[in-house]
Amino acid sequence: MKVAVIGTGYVGLVVGACLAETGNDVLCADVDGAKIAGLKENRLPIYEPGLEPLVVRNQREGRLQFTTEVGRSVERSDVIVIAVGTPPDEDGSADLQHVLAVARAIGQHMNQPKIVITKSTVPVGTAARIRAEIAKHTSVSFHVCSNPEFLKEGAAVDDFMKPDRVIVGVDSEDAGRVLAELYAPFVRTGNPIIFMDTPSAEMTKYAANAMLATRISFMNQMARLCEAVGADVTLVRKGIGSDRRIGPAFLFPGPGYGGSCFPKDVKALLRTAELNGMRFDILESVEAANERQKRLLFEKVERHFDGKLAGTAVAVWGLAFKAETDDVRESPALVLVEALLSAGATVRVHDPAAVASARRHLGDRVTYAAHAYEAVDGAAALVIVTEWLEYRNPDFDRIKRLLVRPLIVDGRNLYDPVRLTRLGFTYDSIGRPVACASS
């Protein structure tokens, strides 16, 4: 099948590479000439495990191409995927200017009947707006479908190749048959393609992310309560996660959710509710709880120093909002670092993949360590924000020698408090009693 993917950001690049991997002829288009030039030379603009080999292999075999000519990509394709960004507007709603610009270009270059698929995360009613925009510029028949993505950063290739489900909002049986053929290679193990109307498909994306954000904020609030009453949130998580009605996923407490999806989609859903005359009370609380949670690690560090952080060196492990990505958008680590700097601390940071992304936000106000232990050397505390594998089983004896004070504040509950106490650390994690070495 000849497919055009408009937009080569996180979603578009993963979609294009995975569709090419299953034998489709894919042309990815983007107006960013520098990005396209890099992609043609197999230089990816994002870090995503497993993606680079797909891009390299499919370019080499001629199934995947990159271009800045959006019009040409539309003209030579049967299926067009819109995968451009929908950043939050000032009022929290999704900014659709890029989506509608692509729709305009599609209409202007519609040379035969085509199927247009919206992969961008868009509010309910966007498919109708896309259809209307395309129709202004063409009399050729076309279909507009909603096909939201459910890709986790750090596992996006696996999520696309082996999806839990594929959600497709269609406007006709003909369009449904084409999308069923397109996605057949990905659902051979029996996971479903769920067909529905386009508004329901658009809403499903927001509902899924809002539910996951709610679970995260709920557990973060439970963790705060556990600390207050002396309970252990790790045991509480196991207790409730074993209930089949609840399940174990997204019940790990942490420093707050971030990234490109949850914060933006919660805001957009709140805005949709407001425009339709209702208050989404639960999501308002979720958003407020998450903003408070992002301050928690700083508050913990501040307490250990009695509020006197001026001139204190603090090491921070992890800048990305989660492991296996270089994405620092809405990252709790940036909130922590900014708060430490405002309190007069000096900050040394390490991340296996996100230093370049973080530098665009933090500039030269922090010290960037090439190795994790380099960040710790001479620091008075180590704070762990991102759950990278290399942080899970470090050399604690070395860490203790390098720190001027044996204090670890762990935002991901990576370590055993009993073990850290035996090793002589003060260990402060999320939702568990602070573990202190006996004097």
Sign (positive/negative) of CA torsion 372, 375, 380, 382?
A: negative
The low-confidence residues of the chain, meaning pLDDT below 70, are 438-439
CATH for 205-292 is: 1.10.1040.10
DSSP string, 213-261: HHHHHHHHHHHHHHHHHT--HHHHHHHHHTSTTT-STT----S---SSS
pLDDT in tens, 57-102: 999 999 999 999 999 999 999 999 999 998 887 777 888 999 999 9
145 is catalytic: no
Which residue spans within 10-63 are E strands per DSSP?
25-29
Q: Which two tokens stand for residue 227?
A: 């600390």
Residue-level pLDDT at 438: 65
Q: Which CATH number fits domain 2-196: 3.30.10.20, 3.40.50.720, 3.40.50.300, 1.10.3720.10?
A: 3.40.50.720
State the catalytic residue, choosing from 18, 28, 226, 261: 261
Residues 6+ apart with CB under 8 A from 153: 10, 48, 259, 260, 322, 324, 325, 327
| Start-end of CATH 3.40.50.720 domains in the chain | 2-196, 294-428
Domain made up of 294-428: CATH architecture: 3-Layer(aba) Sandwich (3.40)
| Start-end of CATH 1.10.1040.10 domains in the chain | 205-292
Decide: pTM greater than 0.95.
no
Residue-level pLDDT at 94: 83
Residue-level pLDDT at 393: 97
Residue at 10: amino acid letter: Y
pLDDT in tens, 195-240: 999 999 999 999 999 999 999 999 999 999 999 999 999 999 999 9
